[in-house]
Amino acid sequence: GIIQRIQKLEKEHALAIEDYEYLIENRTPETDDWIRHKAVQITRSIYGRDIYVRGLIEFTNICRNNCYYCGIRKDNPHVRRYRLSQEEILSSCKTGHALGFRTFVLQGGEDAYFTDDRLCAIVSEIHERYPDCAITLSVGERSAESYRRLYEAGAERYLLRHETADADHYRLLHPSTMSFAHRMDCIRTLRDIGYAVGIGMMIGAPYQTARHLAEDLKFIETFQPEMCGIGPFIPHGQTPLKDFPAGSVDLTCYLLALIRLICPDVLLPATTALGTMDPKGREKGVLSGANVVMPNLSPTEVRKDYQLYDNKICTGEESAQCRGCLERRMLSIGYQVVTDRGDKKNI
C-alpha cells in the first residue's frame, strides 16, 4: 500500500515508476496529510523555518516559441510586447537589493534581441554591483556556448523546466519546432557547465496522466536537480489549450511533498501559479515541503503583460508590497523570510 511505499521512499529516496504511479493514483485525504507532515519535518530538519526569497524580474515577453499552453507564445497577437532595458533591469535589482533580495531571477521569453553579448553585459553588471547576490537565468533553450559565456559572466543558476519527462506528452504540448531531446540536452549541458539547475513541470497539464507524473518523479530522482519548480497548469484564454481544466492545488501539494521525500535538500518553490489557484496556495505549498517563494520584482508597468496564464496574482502590486505580503503570509504559518542567497544545503 501507500504506507510501505512511502517508508521505502523515505529510506531509499527512490522507487520504481510503477510505485510512483501507485502513489499518485491511490491517494486518500489521510495519506495526503501524513505524507505532507513527513515532507515538512524533513524540510525543517535541513532548512529550519527559513523561507528563501528570489526576486523575479520578467525582463522580456517576446518569444520565438509557440508552446500550446503559454500566454506569451509567439502567435498570441493580443499580447503587448515589451522588453526592459539594461537600466530598467538594474533599477529592479536596486529596489530588490534594498528589500533584502539576495537572488535575482532574470526570466524571459526566447527573445533574439538578447544576444550573448547583451545578456552577458547585463549579468556581469549585476554581478559587479551586487557581489553578495546570486544570479539565476530563466531564458529557455540556448547553445552550449551561450550557456558557458553566461556562466562565466556570473550567472550561477539556471531554471529550465523539462515540462514533461515523456517524449510523446511533450509533443502534445509543443509544436514540432521544439524537441524533447533538445530540451533534455540543454538541461544536461547546464549541469555539465556547473550551473545549479532547476527543472520542473506543470501539474494537471493537458493530456497528463499519472504515468506521466510518475515519469517526471523518476526523472527528478535520477537527475537530482538543485531546484524543482512545479505549479498547477492554468489555462490561458488566448492559447490552443484554453479549454482544458486547471490542475489541482491538492495534487500539486502532494507532488511537492513527494519531491521533498525524493530529494530532501532540493530547493522547492511554492509558485505563483499555486498562489493564483488558491488564495492560500503558497502557504499550503510551504506546509507540503516547499521552502522558496519568488515574489515579483518586475516594474509594475509591465506586470500585466507577462501573463503565462489567466488571473495571475500580484500584477497590480509594487515590489515592496509583494515582499511585505509574503513576509506576513509566511509569518502567519510560523515561517520567516530570510535575507540570504538561499543556496542549496548539502546533506
Partner that binds at residue 321, options ligand 5AD, ligand FES, none, CB closer than 5 to 8 Å by kind: ligand FES
Partner that binds at residue 68, options ligand FES, ligand 5AD, none, CB closer than 5 to 8 Å by kind: none
Q: How far apart are the first and last CA of the chain?
A: 29
Going residue by residue from 263 to 302, which x/- string records binding to ligand 5AD, judged by CB under 6 A?
A: ----------x-----------------------------
Q: Residue holding cell 517526471?
A: 216
Instruction: From 7-15, 232-240, 285-293, 331-339, give the range in contact with ligand 5AD by CB under 6 A.
Output: 232-240
Residue 236 in contact with ligand 5AD, rule: CB under 6 A: yes
> Which H or E run includes 149?
helix 144-153
Partner that binds at residue 308, options ligand 5AD, ligand FES, none, CB closer than 5 to 8 Å by kind: ligand 5AD
CA distance 115 to 83: 13
Instruction: From 11-19, 81-89, 93-101, 321-329, give the range in contact with ligand FES by CB under 6 A.
Output: 321-329
Q: Tell me the three state secondary structure of residue 104.
A: strand
Which one of residues 325, 333, 343, 344 is an interface residue with ligand FES (CB under 6 A)?
A: 325
Instruction: Give the CA dihedral 322, 303, 133, 193, nearest 10 degrees.
Output: 130
| 203, HSE (Cβ side, Cα atoms, 13 Å) | 24
Which one of residues 126, 326, 330, 337 is an interface residue with ligand FES (CB under 6 A)?
A: 326
Q: Tell me the three state secondary structure of residue 171.
A: helix
Instruction: Give the CA dihedral 308, 309, 313, 316, nearest 10 degrees.
Output: 60
Cβ-based nearer residue to ligand 5AD, 35 or 63: 63
In whole angstroms, the minimum distance from the beta carbon of 234 to ligand 5AD comes to: 4
Cβ-based nearer residue to ligand 5AD, 69 or 219: 69
Which one of residues 317, 320, 333, 340 is an interface residue with ligand FES (CB under 6 A)?
A: 317
Partner that binds at residue 326, options ligand FES, ligand 5AD, none, CB closer than 5 to 8 Å by kind: ligand FES
CA distance 223 to 245: 30
Which one of residues 55, 231, 275, 295 is an interface residue with ligand 5AD (CB under 6 A)?
A: 231
CA distance 132 to 24: 41
Which one of residues 79, 123, 258, 322 is an interface residue with ligand FES (CB under 6 A)?
A: 322
CA distance 48 to 64: 41
Residues 177-206, interacting with ligand 5AD (CB under 6 A): 202
Edge-to-edge strand ranges of the sheet holding 292-293: 292-293, 50-53, 336-338
Q: What is the 3-state secondary structure (H, E, C) of 115-134?
A: CHHHHHHHHHHHHHHCCCCE
Residue 73 in contact with ligand 5AD, rule: CB under 6 A: no
CA distance 133 to 151: 14
> Which H or E run includes 229?
strand 227-232
The contact set with ligand 5AD (CB under 6 A) reads: 69-70, 161, 163, 202, 231, 233-234, 236, 273, 308-309
The contact set with ligand FES (CB under 6 A) reads: 295, 314, 317, 321-322, 325-326
